[in-house]
Amino acid sequence: MTDSEQAALEIHEITFDARDPHALAGFWAALLEREIRPGDMPQDDSVLVVPTPGQPGLLFLRVPEGKTAKNRIHFDLWPTSAKRDEQVERATRLGATVLDDQRRADGSGWVVFTDPDGNEFCIGSSAAERATRRATAGKPG
């Protein structure tokens, strides 16, 4: 994100339709290691995963209908303090479903998931994993 004093607009929240806003917010809060807005309750029609410095909030709004089509936008998540495969396992434990596994033997690639409401997202390699792969790419084995 940019310095809000310099930008004409900034992304404040990314909004998701959800059958159960509190449950879906709980999944994303756990996955991203964030908090749900204090006071947001399971019966509320809107639940916010609070923003962190440099990242917008995630707002979940109750709608009666389920997801019916592929996302036109999705998150590509890159681990910051763990390896990709650790985060893939963690996402699955939290309730994500693997949709497509594009991991390769050389450590490159990503995994496509759906969250508990069917929204797609990906987990790729961490910066450290990408740097290691680049550093060893041209070296004889």
CATH code for the domain in which residue 49 is found: 3.10.180.10
**Same domain assignment for residues 52 and 81:** no
CB of 27 within 8 A of CB of 116? yes
**Same domain assignment for residues 13 and 55:** yes
- 97 Cα distance to chain centroid: 13
The reported pLDDT for the residue numbered 1 is 42
Q: For residue 109, which of 135, 83, 80 has the smallest C-alpha distance?
A: 83
Residue 105 confidence class, pLDDT cut points 50, 70, 90: confident
Q: For residue 11, which of 47, 46, 58 has the smallest C-alpha distance?
A: 58
Residue 13 lies in a domain: yes
Domain extent for 125: 67-141
Residue 3 lies in a domain: no
Ramachandran sector of residue 42 (left: φ over 0; alpha: ψ -120 to 50; beta: rest)? alpha
Residue 4 lies in a domain: no
Q: Which residue has the higher pLDDT, 1 or 122?
A: 122
**Same domain assignment for residues 92 and 62:** no
**Same domain assignment for residues 37 and 73:** no
Last residue of a domain, one of 50, 66, 82: 66
Q: Where are the alpha helices (DSSP H) in 3-141?
A: 21-32, 84-94, 127-136
> pLDDT digit string (tens) for 21-60?
999 999 999 999 999 999 999 999 999 999 999 999 999 9
Which range among 57-61, 97-101, 111-115, 130-134 shows the weakest confidence by mean pLDDT? 130-134
**Same domain assignment for residues 86 and 100:** yes
**Same domain assignment for residues 51 and 38:** yes
**Same domain assignment for residues 111 and 79:** yes
C-alpha to C-alpha distance for 76 and 84, rounded to whole angstroms: 12
pTM above 0.85, yes or no: yes
**Same domain assignment for residues 60 and 77:** no
**How many domains is the chain partitioned into structurally?**
2
Residue 120 lies in a domain: yes
